[in-house]
Amino acid sequence: MIKLTAKVKNLKNPIIVQVSFRKINLSLKDTLYIVKHNELTYGHSIYIALNNKNYSQKKPVIYFVKEDINFLEDGDILQIFPNGNIFVLWSKKQNPNDLTLFITNQCNANCIMCPQPPKKDTYSYTKVNETLLKYVYKYPIQKIGITGGEPTLKKNELLKLASLCYQLYPNAEIDLLTNAKNLADFDYVKQLVMSNPNIRYCISFPSEIERDFNEIMRANIYKEVIEAIQNLALLRQNIELRIVLLKQNILRLPSISEFIFRNFPFVSHIVFMGMEITGYALDNYQKINVNIKNNQSYLITAVKNLSRRNMNVSIYNIPYCLLDKYLWKFVRDSISNWKKIYTKECSLCIKKETCPGLFSTSYYNYEIKPIR
């Protein structure tokens, strides 16, 4: 999510607010109003007064915002902390139909390529997510991502959140990003399925070899993940397997694809993914980074193995210029708008309009050459 930094005055506790362009707030929601010329306003919970910290002596005021805030629109939802950290939980312009719900920073694995290393939670995200869902209730949300950390660590919170998503958005697709270890518990899986029938279980599957799998995940969870996939299959659930491309598995992609076809022909989607090189992925860069362009024969074979057997295959987070033309039809626009970047070279490329672009954290790691 987008993070802003500023000075905040008169705010004692974190607050979730909806941006309002109306001077008068008569709703029951907490709202934020951007003051332009010391105008008279009423009913808002907090104000952005830019460089004027003396705008209000009673209400909380945000001033000296370091970043450009011109992208903010009426209806956007922010979480504001007394220390000046501001997170854009939902942006009408950037994600009009999508919503991301973050459950926890904690995880029961320690993946070697994790872009967001696990840490302790300093507060509960339950109220944040419930408030966010209710604030966007009247907007046409079509897809909701539930992520962490590992969301299934918060078992009861996840059940309640999945149920609330279904109550408010019964037709929305839910992507649950998980390592699936806790889904080896069949009784819990049944509860989760009953709470929301629209969940797609997006499971990390870096290798078909138990030793390699556990070394990449840095947790002995291979057997539980296999059992979890079987549990979901028994309940006829929507399963997506995600293979992040690493030095540890690039040579085995054909074998991984064969294993998936032989053992999990029921999965709905298989994704081969480029890394976001930040967090643990940056710490372990020399150990795990692989030149995709120079090793893509293995990726081509894996994709062919699956697609020719009518399995649904996609490639995420890799631009066209690093891939053979055969793979272009599998490329998807997968990087969140706020994380995405295009280089100067991209402006000369004929495929830019449909290219997924690059992670803003990682663009310098690739040799980009425009397609003409």
Summarised one tens digit per residue, pLDDT across range 135-167 is: 998 889 999 999 999 999 999 999 999 999 999
| Residue type, position 86, single letter | I
pLDDT for 268 beyond 80? yes
Same domain? For 58 and 118 the reply is: no
pLDDT for 54 beyond 70? no
Same domain? For 41 and 103 the reply is: no
Q: Which residues pair with 169 in a beta bridge?
A: none
Instruction: Dihedral sign for Cα 43, 48, 51, 54, please.
Output: positive
Helices (H), 136-209: 155-168, 186-195
Q: Which residues pair with 314 in a beta bridge?
A: 271
Nearest of 57, 81, 88 to residue 8 by alpha carbon: 81
364 inside domain = no
78 inside domain = yes
Which of 88, 109, 130 is at the close of a domain?
A: 88
Phi and psi, residue 78, nearest 5°: -120, 150
Question: Which pLDDT band, with edges at 50, 70 and 90, does 364 fall under?
Answer: low
269 inside domain = yes
pLDDT at 63: 87
pLDDT for 362 beyond 80? no
DSSP 290: -
Identify whether the C-beta of residue 144 lies closer than 8 Å to the C-beta of residue 174: yes
Which of 88, 120, 146 is at the close of a domain?
A: 88
Identify whether the C-beta of residue 154 lies closer than 8 Å to the C-beta of residue 162: no
Distance, CA of 330 to CA of 115 (rounded, Å): 24
Same domain? For 146 and 171 the reply is: yes
119 inside domain = yes
pLDDT for 229 beyond 90? yes
Same domain? For 304 and 316 the reply is: yes
346 inside domain = no
Distance, CA of 336 to CA of 357 (rounded, Å): 10
Same domain? For 34 and 103 the reply is: no
- How many domains does the chain divide into? 2
Same domain? For 101 and 126 the reply is: yes
Same domain? For 232 and 273 the reply is: yes
Same domain? For 77 and 107 the reply is: no
pLDDT for 48 beyond 80? yes
| pLDDT tens track for 320-356 | 999 999 999 999 999 888 888 898 889 999 999 999 9
Greatest mean pLDDT range, 51-55, 286-290, 368-372: 286-290
CATH code assigned at 249: 3.20.20.70
7 inside domain = yes
| Domain span including residue 56 | 1-88
Same domain? For 179 and 195 the reply is: yes
203 inside domain = yes
Question: Which pLDDT band, with edges at 50, 70 and 90, does 49 fall under?
Answer: confident
Distance, CA of 257 to CA of 251 (rounded, Å): 12
pLDDT for 50 beyond 90? no
345 inside domain = no
Distance, CA of 280 to CA of 260 (rounded, Å): 27
Distance, CA of 372 to CA of 32 (rounded, Å): 46
Nearest of 161, 163, 151 to residue 104 by alpha carbon: 151
Secondary structure of 241-265 in the HEC alphabet?
Answer: EEEECCCCCHHHHHHHHHHHHHHCC
Identify whether the C-beta of residue 103 lies closer than 8 Å to the C-beta of residue 157: yes
Question: Which pLDDT band, with edges at 50, 70 and 90, does 365 fall under?
Answer: low
pLDDT at 58: 80
Identify whether the C-beta of residue 176 lies closer than 8 Å to the C-beta of residue 148: no
Identify whether the C-beta of residue 85 lies closer than 8 Å to the C-beta of residue 1: no
Residues in the chain: 372
Same domain? For 60 and 152 the reply is: no
Least confident range from 77-86, 248-257, 329-338: namely: 329-338
Same domain? For 323 and 222 the reply is: yes
Which of 88, 104, 137 is at the close of a domain?
A: 88
Distance, CA of 251 to CA of 298 (rounded, Å): 6
Same domain? For 220 and 322 the reply is: yes
Average pLDDT (206-234) is 98
Distance, CA of 80 to CA of 10 (rounded, Å): 12
Average pLDDT (183-192) is 98
